């Protein structure tokens, strides 16, 4: 199963279609995942002692893994997962951008991408030529003079 606890997924079918959420629990044996805040169901709970009152509780229900798709943390798009061996370990990779989806490598790449974007913006600003304003081509606009009724009658 390509989806693990902590991954961000998008729901493909059902009442929550198109919504994104983090995986709380992954059950590879049942091929189901529980997504935080999505696929909510109402459960009736019996009171268990004086401290725990009964009532209705909303909780997320399991979704079949075929109805969700992994969202790449680097490119932000829903993607299929490729498997590759890197440094002697089997890692998951995004098929759209090629980013590694496992462990600390994801955080490093995401921060590196942000840092390079900031550097490129600063570099682009530095490379732009500074244009000087031309020496007074146009005369300053004249101020509008408001004539009052008293002045009009005097003229």
CATH assignment, 1-42+57-71: 2.30.30.30
- pLDDT, one tens digit per residue, over 77-109 is 999 988 888 888 888 888 888 888 886 655 455
Question: Which candidate, 58, 71, 16, 59, places its Cα nearest to that of 34?
Answer: 59
Return the DSSP state at 81: E
pLDDT attached to residue 140: 62
Residues spanned by CATH 2.30.30.30 within the chain?
Answer: 1-42+57-71
Residue 126: pLDDT band with limits 50, 70, 90: low
| pLDDT greater than 70 at residue 54 | yes
Please check the confidence at residue 63 and state whether its pLDDT lies above 60. yes
Name 84's Cβ contacts closer than 8 Å, sequence gap at least 6: 90, 91, 93
C-alpha 115/C-alpha 110 separation (Å) is: 9
Check: pTM over 0.75? Answer yes or no: no
Residue 97 CB partners (closer than 8 Å, separation 6+): 72, 74, 75, 77, 79
């Amino acid at each position: 199963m390509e989806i693990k606890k902590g991954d961000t997924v998008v729901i493909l079918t059902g009442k929550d279609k198109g919504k994104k959420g983090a995986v709380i629990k992954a059950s590879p044996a049942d091929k189901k995942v529980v997504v935080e805040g999505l696929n909510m169901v109402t459960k009736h709970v019996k009171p268990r002692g004086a401290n725990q009152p009964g009532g209705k509780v909303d909780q997320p229900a399991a979704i079949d893994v075929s109805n969700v798709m992994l969202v790449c943390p680097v490119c932000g798009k829903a993607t299929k997962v490729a498997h590759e061996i890197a440094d002697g370990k089997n890692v998951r990779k995004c098929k759209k951008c090629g980013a590694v989806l496992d462990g600390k490598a994801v955080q490093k790449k995401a921060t590196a991408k942000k840092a390079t974007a900031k550097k490129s913006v600063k570099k682009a600003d530095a490379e732009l030529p500074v244009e000087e304003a031309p020496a007074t081509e146009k005369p300053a606009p004249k101020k509008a003079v408001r004539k009052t009724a008293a002045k009009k009658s005097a003229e």
